[in-house]
Structure 1
């Protein structure tokens, strides 16, 4: 699944355009490696590290969502490792 689509479906970004911007700005990491493109593939088990709203978030992808569902469904797609 594309990184920007995952961020949008998992409700980590409000719009797909914002999800693309998060990926392109270079401040998002997948398994410790910087990402600079929105179409970078993500898989179950990948660890995402990024800043949002002035705090660092570290998430492990637990499942790939098939749609942009309700927030409770979206939270089941990842596990929060660090939120600070």
Structure 2
């Protein structure tokens, strides 16, 4: 995969939308995730900076714009640096 892209499930895990990477992949395959308004069912979808990700999880819905891809899963504070609220931009 290109350096300016990252797997969707990996990014969701890094950004702490799921507790495990397999749970992140399950969110995608179960149809709870949209990328740029399009429903995504492929956990390996390439995600880029600037994409808008909408996660409709049981605990709430979040629409965020990707501002960084991240290199590892860190603290919640570090995870928050990977995205911004899509409504604020």
Corresponding residue number in structure 1 for 2:36: 31
Tell me by how many angstroms 1:80 deviates. 1.8
Gaps of 5+ in 2: 1-5
- Residues 1:52 and 2:47 are matched in the alignment: no
RMSD: 1.2
Corresponding residue number in structure 2 for 1:62: 67
- Residues 1:22 and 2:53 are matched in the alignment: no
Moved more, 23-32 or 48-57: 48-57
Gaps of 5+ in 1: none
* Whole-angstrom CA distance in 1 between matches of 2:39 and 2:15: 20
Aligned pair count reads 82
Moved more, 12-21 or 52-61: 52-61
Which of 9, 16, 31 is residue 11 of structure 1 equivalent to? 16
Tell me by how many angstroms 1:54 deviates. 3.9
Contact conserved, 2:29 with 2:42, CA < 8 A, in 1? yes
TM-score, structure 2 length as denominator? Answer: 0.86
Tell me by how many angstroms 1:19 deviates. 0.2
Contact conserved, 2:13 with 2:24, CA < 8 A, in 1? yes
